[in-house]
Each structure stands twice: as C-alpha cells, then as structure tokens.
Structure 1
Amino acid sequence: MILRPRAEFLSLAEELQSYILSFLSCKDILRCSSVCKALRQTYLSCSELQYITELGGQQLLPVPDMDIDNKTSFLTRLQLLRDKAHAWFKLDIHSSETVFVPEPFRKYTNTFLVHGHLCLFNEVRQMAKVFPILPKPSQQIGIEHDWFPESLHSIPDADCFEVIMDPEENLIAIAYVIHRWAEDDNDKIYIDLGVLDGDGAHPQAAGRTLSLSSTVFQGDILASDELEVAICGRHLTFLHSQRSTVYDRPNEENKMWWLQIWDWKHSTTSNCVISDPEARESSDFCFLGNDRLLTVSKDLKLYSIEDLSQAPQLLACFLMPVSVTLIECLLAMDDNIAHSSPLQRQVHRTMWTSDPKNRLVSLVACIRSEAPNSFTFVISTRIFFNLQVGVFGGMATIPWECWGPLNSRIFPHDSQCRVGISGNRVLHTFPATGATAGDEDPSHDTNYKLYMIDFSPLAVQRRQGLGTVVTEPSTIELTESVGKLTTFLPYVAVVFDRTFGADQLMDILVDEDRIYLCKPNIEDPDSDSIGQLEVIDI
C-alpha cells in the first residue's frame, strides 16, 4: 500500500488560509492566530480577519446587503470602525449645532428622533411634521412633510391621539379614536398606515388599517387611560393601559395593560397579545431582535414572538431585587430595538449594526421604601439569550442573585439625571458638586457633568489612556430593608469637561454618529415640550 501525504492547513497558500479562517467566529480566529507564528502572521496580514475580530470585540454584526454591494475595502472598513470607537473617547462636547423646534410645535407636542429625523405631533392642534436633522452630504435625501387636521384623518368626529413615523420604511402610523355617544355603543380605535412623503397608502403594508383585538381595547376612553403606538422595523405595537384606585386602599393604584403586536407588512390582524391585568407598578417594554420581547414592570418577563399569529410564549421571568413604584426602560436608539419611548436611527445605511445578544438595556427605577430613591440599572442583553438548562437549571423564574450581579451595574439617579444609550455605551449625567445623585429633591442650583460609560470588551484597549477602567465590583445600598447590592459588569468611564444646569437638559438621545441634548423651550421654560436640540457629532 502506498501512503500519500496528507494536505495540511499550513501548507496551503496564505490567501486560502485567510479565506477558510474568515468563516470562523472572532473568538475562534483569535484562538487560531495564537497557535503558531505562521497563523499569527496570516492574521496580521489579512485586514478581513482583523475586521471580523474588531466587529466581535465591539459586539457588532455586519449588514449582509452592504457586504455584498459595498466596494469599500476591508482595510478601509477596519480603519473606519476603529476610528469611530476611538472618537467616543475624544468627543468634543463643546462643539455643537442647534436645531430649533418650529413655533407651532413648541407646546403640547410629542417629539421623536427617528432615523435622523425630527418627528413632531401636536395633539391639541392635530398637526404633525417631519424633517431631517442637519443632514450630512453622505446621507440620502431626507423626508420633509406636514400634516394638518384634515390630512391626518378623513373622519370628522375622529380624535387623533398618536402619530408615529419611520423614515427608513417611509411609514407613518396614525392612531385615532372615534367617540360613540350612544349608551349602547363603545369608542372605536383605528390605526391607519400611510407613506411619509405623501398622502397615499403604503405599498408594502398588508392593508390600510390595522385591526385591534377586543382584549386590547373595549369600552370607552377614560382620562386615566394611556394609549401608545410604536414602530420597530416590521413590528408595530399598540399599548393600552388603565389605572384605577384600589378599593380598600385609596392611596394605591391598580394598573392593567394590554399590548398587541403586528407584522404590518404581512397582516392587518394579530393574535400576539400580552397582558397583565394585575400589575400595580408602572411598565414598559422593548424588542430584543426580531423574535423576543421584554416586558418591564415589577419583574422582567421575556417572551418569544416568532409567530405573531399566536399568543406569545413566556420564556422566563427575571426577578428584580427590589419592589419599584416607577420604572422607565431606556434602550439603544440606533439599534433594531423598539419600546414605548421615542426611537432614533440614521437614514443612511451602515456596514454594521449592534448584536441583539450584546446590547444594553437601562432601567430607571424608583424604589419603594421609607425614603424613596431612584437608581439606574444597566443590564447586558446577553442574559436574555442565555437560557440553556445548564445555566439556570431549567428555572422559569430566575432570582436576581442568579442573573443580575454578573450582568449589570447599578448607579444612583435623581430626578435631574439624564440617560442615553448607544450600543454598548451609556451617557449619564451625575451631580458635579453639592447634591448627590439619589437625593429625593436635589437643588436646582446643582450642576451636572456628563459621563460616557463604555461596556464593550475592547473599551480598555481603545481608550488610549483616557478614562477610568472599572473591573472591580461596586456596591450600592438601595434601601434599609433590602440592604446593599453588588454588581460586576466591567466598564470604562470618561468624564467630559462641561457642566449643565439642573434645568438645562430635558433628555439625552444618542445614535452611532451623534448625541442630541434635548433642551426646554426658551420662551416657555415651564413647558414640558422640547424647544431645541443641541447636536454633537461623534
């Protein structure tokens, strides 16, 4: 028998080695490059392999269509990716441009930042407007359009209560109610879909009007009712919540809520309804990718929503360490992630996007105690995708001790603190001097500084000597009854050299290219509406 020599991997041409390695994950590529000097050299000479590992280190995913169509070399992509990461640490917080909200929308207006556009809806005047925010030359032409009462809906007795826009999908969703005054009839709610750059029906929508489930809304609109609509790519949601006083406890409220989800491109009907008829806390929700939904109330409940023609499947319940009275879910604005708060994303298509399995969710929670305090919980979304039996032993209800400490950090938060998120970075304001975050009523004279907190694995390497690395655990006391909680999620923090007055910031919103500082209306500082945006390029 003649023995033929076996073809070994190292005997292949370097180009072929690189091609084979490119099918591996970033971790496996790094493992291979540490095996021997030859593979290390192959890795160092191939910009595509370095680009793959850089994406993994920043917890990003390539956008498939852009990889096929884009002619940009991997060397250029790698440099762009590294430069953008470094730019966060060298951010010039003093360099900005200002965008003013148009005069008719400076009061009683819901303001949204959506895909690089400013979207405005004035419920009192029944008017809406969308226009691009300081568009860059590299961006596509933005959408600019105005709606007046007669163009928002054609039904005379209709009352429009929500207008949501998505410039990337050229979609507008107009939600309105028709009040029925007869005793034997109920109010009716409709959600119409159309195009942003005109007045016609959307060509990709399954139909003009979405059908609401009777379990989500029935009866009449009460003053205490909350009605909210949100869009996230192919998903559109309608949230209806009602508050009522507990019969035997007049100082306590019940909150019942129902959430319906549609795939608006494929069906006008949906059986995907989530409800909690006994919730006594405030609530919020967010999408984690295309097939998972997280509801946020006294606990965090994770649902599978792969099939919107069926009821959602409860995957797990993650217990919070304390009982809260008020909770707000803050999420990355530039990701394929949605919630009942405003969204934003750039119109132009990028070569990468953040990984749904490695993002951040921030919960601002007011703790129920003898002296109420507020805290910011920053949680890695990886825990919501790591549900193998071996991790939690098949538990459907997971205690905080099993999931929270290793996957989160807790920061003090007062009523004047502001939080914004982009991918794995959090922008958070903390008191510069005087009052301490967590005080029940901080002084209006307190100044605040802006911190950038980066939780990505490569943050330590790319900070170039800037910022403070925090790898050791931190402990914070929540309440006297609960005691102290220790959390371990590592991060790098940079403090910017600029202070803000307590009343100068209404909100902070962030996407991958910009920071938007939302400021009050100068002419009416007591108004709840945003008057102007200070836009800072990253």
Structure 2
Amino acid sequence: MLSHHGRPDSLSNIAEELRCHILSLLSYRGIIRCALTCQTMYKTVKNSTELQYIIELGAHRLIPIHPRPPNVSIAECLRILRGKANAWSSFELGVTKGLRIPLSFNPGSIVITHQQLAIFATYYYGYVESKVIDLRTCMPETASISPCIRDGNYANPTLRGSVCSSSYIDETQDLMITVNLPRDNPTYQINFRAISTHKEHPMAHESRLELVCRVPYNDYSEGLPEDKAVFTGVGDRLAFYTEAKLGLEAIYGNSILYWSLHVWNWHEGGQPDEVYALGNGYILIEIRFLTEEKLLALTSCYCIELYDVGNLSTIPQLQARFMLPVVPQTLSLEYPSVFHGTSTCEHLAAPDERWIWTTIPADRVICLRVHSPKSIFVISARLFFMDLPPTWFDAASTHGVAIPWLSWGPQNSRCFLQKSSPLFGVGGSRVIRPVLHDSSLRMHMTDFNPSAVARGIGKVVQDPTTLLASRYGFTQDVTTYLPYVEVVNNDRDFDFSLRRIILDEEKILIFTLPHTTERAMDVEIIGM
C-alpha cells in the first residue's frame, strides 16, 4: 500500500491496539509476512496473544467451530492449542473414562461427535434402540449401559412384509432416520425423529416422507428390490441411495443392476424423488458427503466417483471417476459420516475447559479398506477440492470422466498393508492402526497434515513405498508417497479382542471384548 507521496505507508505510527486490529483481519500467512517487514511489526505480532493464536490456528490448519466461551481467555486457547501440537512428542493412551455397552449395539452403529457418544441399533418394521451419552458428565455409576427399550413410535405394523430396514443417525442434530420398503409396492417409508424425545423431529419440514423407488421395474414377477437402502448426510443435506436387481435371474444371480441416488434438503422439505440420478450395470458400495456440495461414492467398478451436489434443483453431477488398482468386491470406504463443522455444532455449547477446533476439510484424509490383500489406502481429501488437470482424464473412457490410478494415486495416497489386524480409526488428518510387534499389537498414529510433517515431531516418512501386484494381488504395482509423520505407543499392548477404533479431534475410543462371558463391549475413552 502506497501513500500519496509514493512511499510505503507504515503501520508503526499508529496506536498498537489499532495496529493489532488491522493485522487480525489478515490471514496467518499475511500476519507472518508483515512481522518480517520491520522490528516494530515483529514486536507487535510477537506480543499479541490474539495474533499468535491466529498464526497457530493457521499453521496447524485448523478452524474454530465455536465462539470463544466467555470464561476462557485467548491465552488459554493458545496454550491448549500449542499443547495439542506438542502431543506428538509422546503418544500416550491414558484412559480417562470407561464404558460397557451391550453387544446389541454393533460397533459400526456408534458415532462420536463433540464429546457426545451416540449408540443405536435398528430392527425390522422400524423398531429402534438408541442412546446418547455425554462423555464429559458420564460418571462411573452410569458407565454400564443396559439394553434400551425398543422404540416403536415409528414402527408401522403394515410394514411386516418389508424387505428393507435402514437407519441413519446424526447426533449433532438430534436426528434419527428410519426407512422401510414394503414388498407389495416400490415406495420407501422414511421417518424423521428426534433422538432425545423419540418424537417427530422439529426441524423436519415433513416428519414422514414417501419416496418412490425409481429403479425401472414394474413387474414384481421379474424380481424383487435388493435389500439395500443407504442414507448419509451433513448439515441440512441428505443423500439416499437404493438399488435393485431386475429380471427372473434376480433370485439366482445373473441380473441387471439398477440404482438411484437422491439428494435433498431435509429442513426445507419437498419430495426427494423429484430430482435424482439413475445408473445401471454397477452399484454404489458406499456414499459419503465430503462437504455439503461434494459427494463421494465407492463403486463396484473399482473406482471412487466424485459428484457435485451443490445445486439441489439438478441431478447429482458426476465430475470424475478415480480408478483404483484393486478388485472391486473387496472394498469399503472409511470416512466419518458425521464430523465437526460450524453448521452442525452451532447449537451445542462449547465446554468450559476445552476449545473446539476442526481440521480444514481439504486437510482431512479418507481411508479405503481393501479386504484382499488386507490393506488400507489413505487418500488426501485435497484431491477432491483441486481443479483436476485435463491431462489426468482418459478421453477414451465412458463419458470421458475416468482418471487412471497412475494419474492421481501415487502422489495423493499412501498404502499400508494390514497383515495383523484389519482395524483402524480415521479422524481429521490422523489415522490410528494396530501393528503387530512380536506377539502383541501396538498402536501407530500417523498424521498426514502438511503442518505436522513440516514440524517433524515424530518419524517423518516421505520416501515412496512399492507393493508388487504379483506378490500382493493388486491389479498393478502400487507405489505411494503421500508424506506423513508417525509415532508409536510402546507403553501398552493389545490383543485380538480389539473390535473397533473411533477417532476425532478430541477423543480416541477403543472397543474391546471383555475377558468374560458377558455379551458386552468395553469402551475406553482416551483424550487427545
């Protein structure tokens, strides 16, 4: 910025308080650049807790999702944030609390968001068991969770011929969705309810919806719908996926596959079957929102599809198919269906003793579980936010949207063999996985955040690793070199009673089977 005399304006001649306010409007990189211009600016930035806090957030690629609690100073927020950054120097698994839950709550139906643990189980005809536990206030006397009473408020006795019962839960919005499909007509019965009250959800424009199955079958003698209906959501967006097999061969195998994908705003209402995408010849194995405008789908044709769903008045727009070097029947996508965000956590009160941040969406990682060979692909979400180079696309592919593995995979992913245990947890930019050391399992934590790699606290890995197709069964040799930093916990051993690992920016939850005959799981809660 130049003065009217053509000389650079100086901020050094204005009041310190005003100078700090002006600098606070800049990005963290802008603040750093200003601090390097002169001694006065350097001292201003160094002595300002607010500016140091902005720099620390940006350097660690975090964003706050709450206004600062009135009884927590910026200095305290800065201290906690720096403490989290230095936690890499010692990866400890100190248990802060323990729970025991019945086995009726499958580990796959448990989510943790913002210190809230939500567990649920669904049954045919719409019956639901659910419970939400506040991990901050849960005391030892409430740590043993008895089976919940089945909630029949949304059970419909006319649905006893249903072929499908599916559910979706979003604890941040107190939302539970159940869906059934009667055998005698292709219309899904979708119900919205509040987890806390077991009543109709107040934010749902319509508490019950009917969605016509859009796969093109008219004669039930030619085959029945497949028992698959999947929900995923973020904020006010929901995606609903259904599939069906057609023809007399549906019962025996060799049938034509059809699917439909619906995305709509459940706060605003309206029928979700008005705008939808149709496909055939393959199926979508998993669907996950990356943001409210981007949807990922793992498909049976060994690829990850990226859809633009920002405009709900048009059908989901397929932007790219990222091809994978694996066999299609051995895949599953591991990415939190509910994650921290300003919109999803705005109604929750920030705890007095903690400040809540979340990883910038582009710095998160997505994990692809491969069952044969046992391995995981850790993929940088930044890939799905970038402008894809036209040279990546295979012009000869269907619709010209396929991107071969060698164009995108090596530089944007890292592959780990999982010989000892198929379990791992993923949250933000971090992955925790058990690795066999001698005869026991030890936890390895890897962070793919560029700032963590730059700090170099822990073992930094930047060299590529190669897994040969002839040895491990991939469709081609797999070389990956996404940088990461890794630390290992050497203080505690695990055995094969380990059942699941859940990870977010605040907590690690480790699920194990107790060494008793009780049909339950022990849950260890570990602070990050």
TM-score for the superposition, normalised by structure 1: 0.79
Answer with 455-464 or 413-422: which moved more. 455-464
Distance of aligned partners of 1:150 and 1:5 in 2 relative to their CA distance in 1, 3 Å threshold: closer
Give the whole-Å Cα distance in 1 for the aligned partners of 2:511 and 2:257. Answer: 30
Whether the aligned pair in 1 keeps the contact of 2:392 and 2:404 (CA below 8 Å) is no
Which residue identity lines up with residue 38 of structure 1 in the other structure? T
Give the whole-Å Cα distance in 2 for the aligned partners of 1:286 and 1:52. Answer: 31
Which residue identity lines up with residue 327 of structure 1 in the other structure? L
- The residue that corresponds to 1:437 in the other structure is none
> Is 1:314 matched with 2:305?
no
Whether the aligned pair in 2 keeps the contact of 1:451 and 1:494 (CA below 8 Å) is yes
Q: CA deviation at 1:353?
A: 2.2
Give SS of 2:173's match: coil
- The residue that corresponds to 1:361 in the other structure is 366
Give the whole-Å Cα distance in 2 for the aligned partners of 1:215 and 1:187. Answer: 8
- The residue that corresponds to 1:202 in the other structure is 201
Distance of aligned partners of 1:122 and 1:207 in 2 relative to their CA distance in 1, 3 Å threshold: closer
Q: CA deviation at 1:533?
A: 1.9
Give the whole-Å Cα distance in 1 for the aligned partners of 2:390 and 2:19. Answer: 35
Distance of aligned partners of 1:101 and 1:256 in 2 relative to their CA distance in 1, 3 Å threshold: farther
Q: After the TM superposition, which residues 289-304 of structure 1 pair with which residues of structure 2 at under 5 Å, given as runs?
A: 289-297=291-299, 298-304=302-308
> Is 1:418 matched with 2:423?
yes
Q: After the TM superposition, which residues 109-124 of structure 1 pair with which residues of structure 2 at under 5 Å, given as runs?
A: 111-115=109-113, 116-123=116-123
The percentage of aligned residue pairs carrying the same residue is 26
> Is 1:501 matched with 2:495?
yes
From 448, 451, 458, the equivalent of 2:451 is 458
Q: CA deviation at 1:278?
A: 1.6
- The residue that corresponds to 1:234 in the other structure is 236
Give the whole-Å Cα distance in 1 for the aligned partners of 2:170 and 2:377. Answer: 29
Give SS of 2:98's match: strand
Distance of aligned partners of 1:375 and 1:479 in 2 relative to their CA distance in 1, 3 Å threshold: farther
Whether the aligned pair in 1 keeps the contact of 2:175 and 2:193 (CA below 8 Å) is yes
Answer with 270-279 or 284-293: which moved more. 270-279
Distance of aligned partners of 1:128 and 1:398 in 2 relative to their CA distance in 1, 3 Å threshold: same
Distance of aligned partners of 1:211 and 1:306 in 2 relative to their CA distance in 1, 3 Å threshold: farther
Which residue identity lines up with residue 169 of structure 1 in the other structure? Q
Whether the aligned pair in 1 keeps the contact of 2:362 and 2:381 (CA below 8 Å) is yes
From 173, 176, 179, the equivalent of 1:172 is 176
Distance of aligned partners of 1:100 and 1:255 in 2 relative to their CA distance in 1, 3 Å threshold: farther
Give the whole-Å Cα distance in 1 for the aligned partners of 2:216 and 2:421. Answer: 35
Whether the aligned pair in 1 keeps the contact of 2:288 and 2:337 (CA below 8 Å) is no
Give the whole-Å Cα distance in 2 for the aligned partners of 1:290 and 1:55. Answer: 23
Q: CA deviation at 1:293?
A: 0.8
User: Residue by residue, what CA displacement relative to the aligned partner does 1:338-368 show, whole Å, maximum 9, x if unpaired?
Assistant: xxxxx999965454322222211111124xx
Give the whole-Å Cα distance in 2 for the aligned partners of 1:254 and 1:468. Answer: 50
Distance of aligned partners of 1:228 and 1:194 in 2 relative to their CA distance in 1, 3 Å threshold: same
- 5+ unaligned residues in a row in structure 1: which ranges? 139-143, 181-185, 338-342, 367-371, 434-445
Give the whole-Å Cα distance in 1 for the aligned partners of 2:292 and 2:48. Answer: 33
Give the whole-Å Cα distance in 1 for the aligned partners of 2:107 and 2:358. Answer: 31
Q: After the TM superposition, which residues 191-340 of structure 1 pair with which residues of structure 2 at under 5 Å, given as runs?
A: 191-215=190-214, 225-242=227-244, 256-270=258-272, 271-279=274-282, 283-297=285-299, 298-332=302-336, 335-336=339-340
Which residue identity lines up with residue 111 of structure 1 in the other structure? S
Q: CA deviation at 1:19?
A: 2.2
Which residue identity lines up with residue 428 of structure 1 in the other structure? R
Q: CA deviation at 1:120?
A: 1.9
- The residue that corresponds to 1:511 in the other structure is 504
Whether the aligned pair in 2 keeps the contact of 1:230 and 1:237 (CA below 8 Å) is yes
Q: CA deviation at 1:508?
A: 0.9
Q: CA deviation at 1:457?
A: 2.6
- The residue that corresponds to 1:476 in the other structure is 467
Whether the aligned pair in 2 keeps the contact of 1:230 and 1:238 (CA below 8 Å) is yes
Whether the aligned pair in 1 keeps the contact of 2:498 and 2:512 (CA below 8 Å) is yes
Q: After the TM superposition, which residues 2-41 of structure 1 pair with which residues of structure 2 at under 5 Å, given as runs?
A: 7-41=9-43
Q: After the TM superposition, which residues 51-90 of structure 1 pair with which residues of structure 2 at under 5 Å, given as runs?
A: 51-63=53-65, 66=67, 70=70, 72-87=72-87, 89-90=89-90
Give SS of 1:416's match: coil
Which residue identity lines up with residue 33 of structure 2 in the other structure? R
Higher normalized helix content (fraction of residues): 2
> Is 1:537 matched with 2:523?
no
Give the whole-Å Cα distance in 2 for the aligned partners of 1:89 and 1:348. Answer: 31
Which residue identity lines up with residue 12 of structure 1 in the other structure? I
Whether the aligned pair in 2 keeps the contact of 1:257 and 1:275 (CA below 8 Å) is yes
Distance of aligned partners of 1:475 and 1:23 in 2 relative to their CA distance in 1, 3 Å threshold: farther
User: Residue by residue, what CA displacement relative to the aligned partner does 1:70-89 show, whole Å, maximum 9, x if unpaired?
Assistant: 56332222212122233355
User: Residue by residue, what CA displacement relative to the aligned partner does 1:368-423 show, whole Å, maximum 9, x if unpaired?
Assistant: xxxx4132111111111111658859984333333222221111124732111121
- The residue that corresponds to 2:143 in the other structure is none
Give the whole-Å Cα distance in 1 for the aligned partners of 2:158 and 2:401. Answer: 50
Give SS of 1:227's match: strand
- 5+ unaligned residues in a row in structure 2: which ranges? 140-145
Whether the aligned pair in 2 keeps the contact of 1:506 and 1:518 (CA below 8 Å) is yes
TM-score for the superposition, normalised by structure 2: 0.80
Q: CA deviation at 1:507?
A: 1.5
Give the whole-Å Cα distance in 2 for the aligned partners of 1:374 and 1:254. Answer: 30
- The residue that corresponds to 2:402 in the other structure is 397
Give the whole-Å Cα distance in 1 for the aligned partners of 2:54 and 2:390. Answer: 29
Distance of aligned partners of 1:164 and 1:192 in 2 relative to their CA distance in 1, 3 Å threshold: same
Give the whole-Å Cα distance in 2 for the aligned partners of 1:469 and 1:487. Answer: 15
Q: CA deviation at 1:454?
A: 1.1
Distance of aligned partners of 1:518 and 1:80 in 2 relative to their CA distance in 1, 3 Å threshold: same
Distance of aligned partners of 1:122 and 1:428 in 2 relative to their CA distance in 1, 3 Å threshold: same
Give SS of 2:313's match: coil
- The residue that corresponds to 1:129 in the other structure is 130
Q: CA deviation at 1:455?
A: 1.4
Distance of aligned partners of 1:396 and 1:11 in 2 relative to their CA distance in 1, 3 Å threshold: farther
Give the whole-Å Cα distance in 1 for the aligned partners of 2:523 and 2:413. Answer: 31
Q: CA deviation at 1:100?
A: 1.6
Answer with 299-308 or 148-157: which moved more. 148-157
Whether the aligned pair in 2 keeps the contact of 1:164 and 1:230 (CA below 8 Å) is yes
